[in-house]
Every structure is written in C-alpha cells, then in structure tokens.
Amino acid sequence: MPLYAAYGSNLDPRRMVRRAPHSPIRGTGWLVGWRLTFGGENLSWEGAFATVVEAPEDPDAHVFVLLYDVPAEDEPGLDEWEDGGTGLFRKVRVRVHTLDGDVTAWLYVLDAYEGGLPSARYIGMLADAAEAAGAPGDYVDELRARPCLSTGPGVPDA
C-alpha cells in the first residue's frame, strides 16, 4: 500500500480521519535534507502555504512527518482536499527516515515560488497538528516561533 508522508495540517490524526477515513497511521519519520517553508502567499487569502523543499546547503535540515497507509479509495479524496483542482500542489516521492529504516512515501509540494508569511492561525494549526502527531517538543516550539502575519485579509485581529 502506498505511504503518504504528512508534514502540515494532516499531521493531526483527527483531521486525517475525516479526509482519508481508510488510511491508518503507519508511524513517524523525518525528511532528512529537507526543510519546511512557505510559499504562494499571493495565491491565498490567508498568507502563504506550507511546503517542503530540499535543502542540500543545510545538512542539519529535517522535517517531521506522520506516515499513513493510503489505499486507492482514499487517494482521490486526499488529492482533492490538498489541491482542490487548483494545480498548486504536486505529488513527489521522498525517502523518509524511520526507526525501522528508510521507506519511500509520497507527499504534496507547492508548485509556486517560495516566500511569504503564513497567518498566525495557520502556524498555530500546524504546530497543534505536529503536537497531536507526537512531534518532539523542540520541533513544535520551533513551529510556533516562526514569523507570521498577525492580521491580514480574512484574518481577524487577535
């Protein structure tokens, strides 16, 4: 069964049950040599979208992921949820380092220029999802400390 590596809001198992109800958790791992970043700020009403990019210039770069077994019946719905027919995301196969060895999985990456800031609400959602997935505390803290938009179009003042 194909493995999906969630790094954004799909790190939250409760959210994934709604988006891909037949996709059980397989485990956790790390994208080593990749970094979490944001892009497409001009394409969203609420700031930039999360994505991952390879980081050959940073040997310490890593992104926490939650692996799911995604059967054929769940994949189209997950594709629709992630991309919504916009063409903003594409699937990429990656190597994930786990405690049981390396595995191959697919994930979604933003097909737009890197840059821009996400909303504070979105950063909070990503950090909460990482925490729900069992990410290490320092990883979650690092997410919460990321620069973000405190207000903006569609984002209420805090």
Place of tokens 């950063």: 123
Catalytic annotation, pick one of 41, 57, 73, 82: 82
108 annotated to bind ligand: no
Chain-centre distance for alpha carbon 72: 21
The residues, any chain, with a CB within 8 Å of residue 145's CB and separated by 6 or more, are: none
Q: Is 73 labeled as catalytic in the residue annotation? A: no
Report the residue count for the chain: 158
122 annotated to bind ligand: yes
5 annotated to bind ligand: yes
6 annotated to bind ligand: yes
112 annotated to bind ligand: no
Which amino acid belongs to residue 62?
H
139 annotated to bind ligand: no
How many Cβ atoms sit within 10 Å of the Cβ of residue 102? 10
Binding-site positions for substrate: 4-9, 122
Known catalytic residues are: 82
